[in-house]
Chain A
Amino acid sequence: MDSIRPGTIATLAGGVVLLIASFLDWQSFGAGGFSIGLNAWDRGLTGFFLLVIAGIAIGVAAVDGFAPQVNLPENILDFSRNQLVGALGAAAFVFSFCMLFALEGFQIGTILAVLASAAIVVGARMEDQAGAGTTTI
């Protein structure tokens, strides 16, 4: 573990922040003088899917960075491992970005989710271009 690549750190950090963001307020509604906050877990299975995406990003980055001796599948369908992580990050990014435009504006959870998922996409792309998961150095 002498040198952890920036892509690994970005993916790992993005996954952790995405996980935290799912529990923070995404939307806020005023009702009868009160303000009601909704997080991702209040929107059906949204929180669960964000948890899965964050978990995969954290798991893959942690293995690549700290336990390279662990064998993970290198290709799934047409995707390399990091391309798949990037695809899942892109899915989280598109959804959270779209939610920025919802009624009553957006809250801190949405902003963090956008930034975290973007970090996952960029980190996974950097890892893919560095050849992580496909080349043994």
Chain B
Amino acid sequence: MDTSNPGPLLLLGGGVVIALGTILDWGPGVSGLNVDFNGLFGIVALLIGVALAAIGGIRAFAPDTKLPDEIAGYSLDQILFVDALIVFLWTFALISESGSKIGLHLTWIGGAVALAGTVLSMRNAPAGGPEAPTTF
């Protein structure tokens, strides 16, 4: 495990906390997975959390596993950043609603941790490597 780069561990931890948060209450008697008030957002957040945790875990504990460098022209780190941003941004937006519960708070905190993990991963990507910025 590369201890010089905490990015994957933050991704793993953030993803687990997001997934955990979505199955807990977001409002009075309503879990994140309840589609009545937040539509599919809680389910999407759960899927994002699982994906972030899986990729963070692979990077931290099985770095030899080959992950795609790019998907549709975007680096994997860019895609993970956007995923973490989606969870953080909208759950943070919803916490100021009255009656927000522990699950919603855990989810935005997990999103913030995962976001920090993706930023650290971007900064620690080898210069000129597959995850370096694309210049045109």
Contacts and interface: CB of A to CB of B under 8 A. Distances in A.
Given A45-B92, A91-B86, A102 B36 contact: yes
Contacts of B95: 44
Given A87-B85, A91-B85, A135-B136, A48 B78 contact: no
Contacts of A91: 82, 85-86, 89-90
Contacts of A45: 92-94, 96
Contacts, number: 85
B64 interface: no
B40 A98 contact: yes
Given A49-B89, A91-B89, A134-B136, A83 B97 contact: no
Contact of B86 (A79, A94, A99): A94
B92 to A, nearest CB: 7
Interface in A52-71: none
A95 B122 CA distance: 25
Interface in B25-64: 35-41, 43-44
A2 interface: no
Residue picked from B36, B81, B82, most chain A C-beta under 10 Å: B82
Contacts of A16: none
Given A45-B96, A78-B133, A83 B38 contact: no
Contacts of B5: none
Interface of B: 35-41, 43-44, 74-75, 77-78, 81-82, 85-86, 89-90, 92-97, 119, 122, 125, 131-136
Interface of A: 43-46, 48-49, 75, 77-80, 83, 87, 90-91, 94-95, 97-103, 131, 134-135
Given A83-B78, A99-B38, A101-B39, 15 more contacts: A43-B97, A44-B97, A45-B96, A49-B89, A77-B119, A78-B77, A78-B132, A79-B133, A80-B133, A80-B134, A90-B82, A91-B82, A94-B44, A103-B37, A134-B135
